[in-house]
Structure 1
Amino acid sequence: MIVKRTGRRVAFAAVPAAVFLTLGLSGPALAEGGKAYQIDLAQLNASGSSGTVMLSLKGNQLTVQIESEGMVPGQPSAQHLHGSTKGHDFHCPDATDDTDGDGVLSNTEATHDYGDINISLTTAGDTKATSGLAVERMPVADKQGKISYKRTIPVGQDVVDHIKDLHVVQHGIDRNKNNKYDFEGAGKSELDPKLPQEATAPTNCGEVKGAAVGSIPVGGIETGGGSPQRAVVPVTVRDGAAITVLAVVAGAVAVARKRAAAVATGRGTTGSGA
């Protein structure tokens, strides 16, 4: 388990999916009987942003849950699933893709690597690629620069079949560090001259390919009797609680395995403890 320290909080940005799936995570991003993918968002444009994405597919319903930080406070963040459903091998870009050498990786430069918009992750209304700049329907970062987003979207079979070829990208940077998008920071956007470049440049990216993946058993974890047991693992906890949470996670996994082994051997479980 990788623990990322971000200021005064400890973010579990890379908790293995096996932990989530073994515990039967009851968070909204995981659909029973479907597949779930956990993705880490890595910063672009030296933005300092990061986050965790949980994607789950159940039939043709895609649930997207994003928890990110280091965004521009109080500003909307355009966000999308980029990539191809036709087998093209796109991937997240890096600073070397700043081909004009102006110090800003623009969306146009990055698109060469992560592909065009496939789904616009809006908060309401349609999710078509044509809504990619519908900033009035994109999530807005809070005063601490954090975004929490969750939406279930019906998708085509092409997305279901090629979900691993897509990438989650959030946009919006603050090059001149004044907590807003303006033209002084990086000029006009190449996508729309009415928008600052800061508003459309990518701030982070995460690939579905290579992400932790697993199946969610219908009904959760069987424990030898009674209703299925579930445990919610928080994405972010206070510093002082980090060790406790790690212990709870480890203990819960051990209990689940012990009970599963007992059922398999016909011994069952007795007593009030594990």
Structure 2
Amino acid sequence: MMSKRTGRLAVLAALPAALLTTIVASPAALAADSPAFQIDLEQLNESGSRGTAMLSLRGKELTVWIKSEGMVPGQPSAQHLHGSTEGHDFHCPDASDDTNGDGILNNTEATHDYGDINISLTTSGDTDAGSGLAVDRMPVADKEGKISYKRTIPVSQDVVEHIKDLHIVQHGIDRNDNDKYDEEGAGKSELDPKLPQEATAPTNCGEVKGAAVGSIPVGGIETGSGPGAAGVSPNLVTGAAIAATVTAAGALVLARRRKTSRVVAPEGAA
């Protein structure tokens, strides 16, 4: 009899650890299915532009959220994911990359650091590199110079595997402060002489800093998988659930042990 009761107690004692392993594994699996990464956009060309973005993957679908400010009011902003899916190390440029010394970091100079266009973040239609200058399909800043962007697009497996190697770059500066792109500010674009340099020069850039599942860019973008209405972190909820479950399991073990002790005592006395 003692051996059977001891065996049952051993099984019950192992229950909390087993439950803990199961519960902890579940959020990890979910995170692996839908990884998300936050990006802080920092100004280039002394534009005063800044913003926050989030990249979220679900299978081979990439959702991109961007909230930025300090853009040229009423003007379109070409924006892209730059970088490499072949393991090359690209990063955001700085003023020292202005190799011709004209005081403006143009896109050609900056590409040396942040790489070629991988995905064009258009509002509709194609998203390949060929749409990089499709200004008619790029987001337009409001009268306060703010841009709010969200789009889900299909991507290749290479992008899925190297998403951390890609950077977001937004373009468009206003060197002569007249709230529009024109050649008086910086001449013609080296990419397309039909466009002014102000339209294609980078205004900000941001690199993936690391996983940020559940985080939301500035402005409270609705992601559908972020914190609840009360602002409770999913990780905190998960932690509370784990603690409650393990506590309950432990209480169950203790109760069973006490009950067993009461039953065993008379048998020992006999």
TM-score bucket of the superposed structures, by smaller chain: 0.7 to 0.9
Structure 2 counterparts to residues 135-146 of structure 1, below 5 A: 135-146=135-146
Deviation, 1:234, is: 7.6
Question: 1:138-217 residue pairs with structure 2 within 5 A?
Answer: 138-208=138-208, 210-214=209-213
8 Å Cα contact 1:172-1:202 kept in structure 2:
yes
Aligned to 1:265: 247
Q: In structure 1, the residue corresponding to 2:212 is in which secondary structure?
A: strand
- Whichever of the two has the greater Rg, that structure is 2
Aligned equivalents of 1:36, 1:251: Cα separation in 2: 15
Given the superposition, is the C-alpha separation of residues 251 and 83 from structure 1 closer, same or farther in structure 2, using an over 3 Å criterion? closer
Superposition pairs of residues 243-262 of structure 1, within 5 angstroms: 249=231, 257-262=239-244
Aligned to 1:96: 96
Q: 1:256: how far off? A: 5.7
Superposed CA RMSD: 2.6
Residue 236 of structure 1 pairs with residue 219 of structure 2:
yes
**Residues 39 and 212 in structure 1, CA contact (< 8 A), matched pair in contact too:** no
TM-score normalised over the length of structure 2 = 0.73
Identical counterparts, % of pairs: 74
- Segments ≥4 residues shifted beyond 6 Å: 250-253
Q: For residues 36 and 93 of structure 1, do their structure 2 counterparts lie closer, same or farther at Cα, with a shift above 3 Å needed? A: same
- Are residues 205 and 251 of structure 1, via their aligned partners in 2, closer, same or farther at CA, if it must alter by over 3 Å? closer
Q: 1 CA distance for matches of 2:216 and 2:88? A: 35
Contact 1:42 1:206 in 2 (8 A): yes
TM (normalized to structure 1)? 0.72
Return the letter of the residue paired with 1:211.
G
Distance 2:75 2:233 in 1: 40
Distance apart, 1:266 and its partner CA: 1.8
Q: Give secondary structure in 1 for the equivalent of 2:75.
A: coil
Query: Structure 2: how far apart are the matches of 1:32 and 1:138?
Result: 31
Identify unmatched segments of 5+ residues in structure 1. 1-23, 25-30, 217-231, 238-247, 269-274
Shift of 1:235: 2.6
**1:27 alignment partner in structure 2:** none
Q: Structure 1, residues 45-69: CA drift from partner, whole Å, max 9, x if none?
A: 0010111101001110000010101
Which deviations, in whole Å up to 9, do the C-alpha atoms of 1:210-249 show, x marking residues without a partner?
23434x6xxxxxxxxxxxxxxx968338xxxxxxxxxx64
- In the TM superposition, what are the counterparts of 1:37-186 in structure 2 within 5 Å? 37-186=37-186
Contact map agreement 2:98 2:105 (CA 8 A) in 1: yes
Deviation at 1:261, TM superposition (A): 1.6
Q: d(CA) in 2 for partners of 1:183 and 1:78?
A: 17
Q: Secondary structure at the match of 1:174?
A: coil
Instruction: Tell me if structure 2 keeps the 8 A contact 1:91–1:207.
Output: yes
Query: Structure 2 regions of 5+ residues with no counterpart?
Result: 1-26, 221-229, 251-270
